[in-house]
Amino acid sequence: MYGLFHYTGTHGDTKPLKSAMDQLYPKINLSVFVMADAGGNILYRAGKGKDLPEGRLREMPAFQQALKGEQVITASQGPGAGGIWAIVPVYSFGKAKPSGMIFLGSRIDNTFARRIAQETGSQVFIATAERVIAGSYEGALHNAYDSSLAKSSLAARNRFFRWTGPITGRTRTFP
């Protein structure tokens, strides 16, 4: 909070903010850790948030909601890629409106899918009806993906699980 207060008061000095954030980042287990001012200008970024597009934060509906003082958790396009984000408004001393936002999150990518697969003992695809967003398969990811199942699942608002037997190689689909 002091770093953001200092940034606002000095019209741009981010050294105290960066110092505090550099101390916090190694203690969290997230791939994205970003601080932005209320205008959407990035003041600090760590991890995979380094490729965050400047000036596009204000276009995010979740950013606009956080500007109103609400903490937002969303699964959407965000810092650098699609992911699961928490956007937390940060207030400077004596301010009624947020002076900045902290973005905390994990990208939805192959690494994320592999972590889920490892924890569940399964293979994981995270997909839309059109394409695979992430998957835990090392090899032929798209060969194992059946877009008709994703389309059926989305249309019926139902989950499908597909299992291929290790010995017979036969595939069964479970609603």
Q: What is the pLDDT of residues 81-112, one digit of tens each?
A: 678 889 999 987 777 889 899 988 888 888 88
Average pLDDT over residues 10-19: 85
Q: What is the pLDDT of residues 104-135, one digit of tens each?
A: 888 888 888 888 888 888 878 777 777 777 88
Cα–Cα distance measured from residue 159 to residue 175, given in angstroms and rounded to the nearest whole number:
6
Q: What is the pLDDT of residues 35-72, one digit of tens each?
A: 889 888 888 888 654 555 556 778 888 889 999 999 99
**Whole-number pLDDT of residue 165:** 46
Name the residue with higher pLDDT: 103 or 166.
Answer: 103
**Whole-number pLDDT of residue 106:** 83
pLDDT band at 171 (very low <50, low <70, confident <90, very high): very low
Strands in 31-144 per DSSP E: 32-37, 42-47, 72-77, 82-90, 100-107, 125-127, 132-135
Cα–Cα distance measured from residue 97 to residue 4, given in angstroms and rounded to the nearest whole number:
13
Cα–Cα distance measured from residue 64 to residue 37, given in angstroms and rounded to the nearest whole number:
12
Cβ neighbours around 78 below 10 Å, total: 25
Rounded to the nearest 5 percent, the helix, strand and coil shares of the chain are 35, 30, 35
Q: Quick check: 139 pLDDT over 70? A: no
Domains of the chain: 2-107 (3.30.450.20), 110-174 (no CATH)
